[in-house]
Structure 1
């Protein structure tokens, strides 16, 4: 039972190794102390029994004795500690400054100090430069950029005019007088602007779809066939029915159409169907048009309860149908009355003859 300890097992392994190589152990004497120290490290903590120590060779016993009795490296030198404790620290105010005994909070000791002049606006400046580079469109041909921006100006103008007319109507409702336009004039102008904006939006959406037909005919990015032709067909098929919708529904539908078409154009640019600058160019134009639609919806919503609803095309068609039926009914009634008179006249003539 006494020999079933970790120290005894380590000792037996070392003894077995020395027995296998007796010449090297007894003659060379050059066995590495580190090797024996590693094998006998547990002996310094768990002392073996005396009869086990007696079985060691002289070299093993010497190594073991040196391992047990050697001075540890972390032994405290009390004399040196007392000498340092009794030393008096001399003041040196000329070497002390506001930063001589501090270091950055997020840094490590002995690391160089952070730069003193840190630009706190660097992130914002970077974002502003990114926006400038995006809106500058340096890679876009100047003619396309200029004409494209000019093309969205009518859409933006109708949107701002809608907001102005709504303001005039609200101002007249609050004060009783209009600023420049009378309430009736502002309302009439508003009814003219709404179909103009919707019709112009349908034209723009159709034009954006037709661009893909031109790219297909030019063979840009290869000939894609029906996949690219479908873009030019679906765009006007979605755009033109909006002129038959109420104003709010038409504007929302066109907003969704512009957004979906921008996504399609972005994907087309990514796969090489359009020039590399086309998606950025479309982003600027779509942003302006989308903002115009939102502004128009806001202006229209401010006067929704104060402005009469302008009859849409469908309403006009229904009214025309109803009026036509009414007119036809009146004509038939007149024909019947005329026929009745003629019959009565014939009866009178026949009775007179008799």
Structure 2
């Protein structure tokens, strides 16, 4: 059962690495920097929004993959629906103003982090997954909120 609690090194490293684009774009926005290749201001905001949508979609895919293994058709259907919602919210966020998009993504990451922690609570994902998702979603939400305040 200890393996249920220990975050696999690859998941931890890759999860933390996934925060780097959020961090780089937010730092660039807050400090008014222009980053190589990305640019400044509007380009950093766009890059942050696009990356946020991509990650939300990825996390929805993870939920879909977990739901495939459910025995209960009703629970499976519910989680298939939940799995699609992050991508739809992300897409909808792209239709908003940059500030509105960033706040929408911020809220979506908070809610999805809590829902993903619930996978551990329902004993369909290991404890480490729930803890990792809460930590990463919390970090991403803070960065998106800071970026939204800076735009």
TM-score band by shorter chain is: 0.7 to 0.9
Match of residue 164, structure 1, among 26, 31, 55 = 31
Cα displacement (A) at 1:258: 0.7
The answer to whether structure 1 residue 154 and structure 2 residue 5 are counterparts is: no
User: Partners in 2 of 1:249 and 1:298 — Cα distance?
Assistant: 11
Is it true that 1:283 corresponds to 2:134 in the alignment? Answer: yes
Matched, 1:228 2:79: yes
Higher helix share: 2
2:64 & 2:132 partners in 1: Cα distance? 18
Which stretches in structure 1 are left out of the alignment for 5+ residues?
1-137, 169-180, 182-187, 301-354
- CA deviation after TM superposition for structure 1 residue 298, in Å: 2.9
Relative contact order (C-alpha < 8 Å, sep 6+): which is higher?
Answer: 2
Q: CA deviation at 1:294?
A: 2.1
Shift of 1:222: 4.4
Larger radius of gyration: 1
- Are positions 1:139 and 2:6 aligned together? yes
Query: Tell me, what secondary structure is at the counterpart of 1:272?
Result: coil
Moved over 3 A (4+): 221-224
Aligned residues: 141
Q: Distance in 1 between matches of 2:146 and 2:86?
A: 23
Task: Please state if 1:265 is matched with 2:132.
Answer: no
Helix, strand or coil at the partner of 2:52: helix
Q: Which runs of 5+ in 2 are unaligned?
A: none
Aligned partners of 1:195 and 1:243 also within 8 Å: no
RMSD: 1.8
1:191 aligns with 2:42: yes
Partner of 2:92 in structure 1? 241
Alpha-carbon distance, 1:244 to partner: 1.7
